[in-house]
Amino acid sequence: MEIEILGFGVVREIFQNDFVYANLPEQPTLLNVRSWIEEKYPAVKRLGSYMIAVNKEYVRDDQIKIFASDEIAIIPPVSGG
């Protein structure tokens, strides 16, 4: 199954685009998405932490099932002063 993954902030720079497409097994979970991102773009893993949003809601449970119609976004750590 092909899904679109949006990148924000520094993740967009890592992707060298606003989004990337991932080919994942049928009925993938968030863990499959996280594994694909970290394998394809190791710099994302080196951020130390990042959040994944599914359909504009932050999710932490790696067992969440992903569907082709879902909006997946990678949100890097945010700092401010």
pLDDT in tens, the chain (81 residues): 999 999 999 999 999 999 999 999 889 999 999 999 999 999 999 998 899 999 999 998 888 999 999 999 999 987 655
Q: What is the pTM of this model?
A: 0.88
Domain ranges of the chain: 2-75
The matching CATH number, chosen from 3.10.20.30, 3.40.980.10, 3.30.70.270, 3.40.50.10470, for 2-75 is 3.10.20.30
Burial class (CB in 10 A: 0-12, 13-18, 19+), 68: exposed
